[in-house]
Amino acid sequence: MKPPGVWKALVTPVGHNTELFLQDYEMMRAVIFRQYGDPKEVMELVDDRKVPRPSANEVLVKVESSSVNAADRHMVQANYLIIRLLLGLLRPAEKNRVLGMDVAGTIQAIGDGVEGFEVGDAVAADIRKSLGGGFAEYAVVKAADLVRIPAGVSFEQAATVPISGQAAMMGVILCGIDSGDRVLINGASGGVGSFAVQIAKAQGAHVTAACSAAKVDAVKSWGADEVVDYESASVRDLGANAYDAVLDAACFRSPGDFSETLKEGGRYVLVGGSYYNMLRVKAFGRWYARGTQQFRGLTQEVEVAANIQRVFGMIAQGKVEPIIQKTVPLREVPGAISSIGQRAVVGKIVVNNQR
């Protein structure tokens, strides 16, 4: 428990001076990992992690909800050198030991130079650039990354959007979908796919979704016009010149496999899958294209914060509903990350700090 005086100060800042109310002894609960490996073995809930301090142009957010992403699994397992270069070569550096790439909560303290936000504002953010921090009671967020959560969107719903919802929105935008276009969404049963199916439908597309057999009914219930089980059907079975766009959230085969099923002038957008394929599409995308087709990966040309806002707007208007398979407390984060690797997730797993 925090001393009452400090707690009061956290919710009642004096001016913008965070030093006055963030004491060194202040601790919080957080899920940390000290070494790389199986999340269930190397991650644990502690209650003595220091509350981080916001610097200039940052705020401190009291995290109400976060959500579990494929990125958390990649980081805790650190099977790729690039991750070890970012987090720490042999083990994660002390400052990088809390994962959790998206946060939704209320602002508790404001660093110098932050304009337009007040203590108590309900906000969400993609905090990948800070290498996480969401699986904790408090997280520091750059003011530039903050997005207000509108009325009608709960903290749990908001926590599904910064990574998965915005990536789906960016993918759909890059697919350049017009009403009536035929769109294939590969990896439709996951966090990104569950948003992509609904966003593409809301844009008037005819959506074919691909996922594993066990999840076909769920994906159909999200509005997909057709659902194919990729375990029994190959890309060739989808027919030649069949799709105006492919949004691929599960590229584990060669991206070139899709060039035949894409129409002339069709767009293939890789959102996720193997790192190797992501690099291949970024570097050599045009090699896969037949004629005027385009093959590309996600880019930041469409702003992350703007996409989060777009998805929030669609949720508030009832056009999109975040698919939350279950909500778990902080202590169950390691198991939730493991279940992503076991392909046991349908939509999103949300972490609720009040539980």
Ligand X SMILES: NC(=O)c1ccc[n+]([C@@H]2O[C@H](COP(=O)([O-])OP(=O)(O)OC[C@H]3O[C@@H](n4cnc5c(N)ncnc54)[C@H](OP(=O)(O)O)[C@@H]3O)[C@@H](O)[C@H]2O)c1
Interacting residues toward ligand X by CB under 6 A: 69-71, 163-164, 167, 187-193, 211-212, 215, 230, 249-250, 252, 271-273, 298, 340, 343, 345
Considering the complex, state which of residue 13 and residue 297 has its C-beta at the smaller distance from ligand X. 297
Q: Cα–Cα distances in Å, from 330 out to 64, 193, 216?
A: 11, 25, 30
Considering the complex, state which of residue 100 and residue 187 has its C-beta at the smaller distance from ligand X. 187
What's the CA angle centered on 121, arms 72 and 332, to 5 degrees?
30
CB of 111 to ligand X, least distance (A): 26
CB of 115 to ligand X, least distance (A): 27
- Could you tell me if 65 and 104 are in contact, meaning their C-beta atoms sit under 8 angstroms apart? yes
- Could you tell me if 291 and 264 are in contact, meaning their C-beta atoms sit under 8 angstroms apart? yes
CB of 340 to ligand X, least distance (A): 5
Considering the complex, state which of residue 39 and residue 191 has its C-beta at the smaller distance from ligand X. 191
In the 8-state DSSP scheme, what is residue 212?
A: -
Both tokens assigned to 172: 């759909």
Considering the complex, state which of residue 34 and residue 326 has its C-beta at the smaller distance from ligand X. 326
Residue at 258: amino acid letter? F
CB of 215 to ligand X, least distance (A): 4
CB of 263 to ligand X, least distance (A): 23
* Dihedral class, residue 164 (left if φ above 0, else alpha if ψ from -120 to 50, else beta): alpha
Rounded to the nearest 10 degrees, the angle between the axes of helix 304-316 and helix 191-202 is 70
Considering the complex, state which of residue 211 and residue 315 has its C-beta at the smaller distance from ligand X. 211
- Could you tell me if 71 and 78 are in contact, meaning their C-beta atoms sit under 8 angstroms apart? no
Considering the complex, state which of residue 107 and residue 351 has its C-beta at the smaller distance from ligand X. 351
Is 351 exposed, middle or buried (CB count within 10 Å of its CB: 0-12, 13-18, 19+)?
buried
CB of 214 to ligand X, least distance (A): 7
